[in-house]
Amino acid sequence: MTKLFIANIRSAKGDRPLVTVRASAEGEARLFLAAAYPEDEVVDVVEPSDWTSDADTGAGNGDIREHAGVAWQAPSSLAR
């Protein structure tokens, strides 16, 4: 069963829009993201808790989507 994770990805040009990835665990999500963004830094990967979206977030294991116009915001449990 896949879970939804949200990711904060930073490229040499700055932060990417919010990225979602479907995976069975955080470690697997990080592997998918590292393969999809080999030149970028995977800063954070977390389960979104109460985050909701009407955008396509994929369905299968390894589905990655960028959500243009949506910036990374840490879930309230991780807010610094």
Measured distance CA(63)–CA(29) in Å, rounded = 10
Q: Which residue blocks in the chain are alpha helix, DSSP H?
A: 26-36
- CA-based nearest residue to 19, from 5, 32, 31, 30: 5
Task: At 42, list the tokens.
Answer: 């995977």
For the chain, the structural domain boundaries read 3-71
Residue 26 scores a pLDDT above 70: yes
In sequence order, the β-bridge partners of residue 41 are 10
Residue 50 is predicted with a pLDDT of 66
Over the stretch 28-71, which tens digit does the pLDDT of each residue have? 999 999 999 999 999 999 988 766 666 777 888 999 999 888 88
Residue 51 is predicted with a pLDDT of 65
If 0-12 CB within 10 Å is exposed, 13-18 middle and 19+ buried, where does residue 23 land?
buried
Residue 57 is predicted with a pLDDT of 79
Residue 27 is predicted with a pLDDT of 95
Residue 52 is predicted with a pLDDT of 67
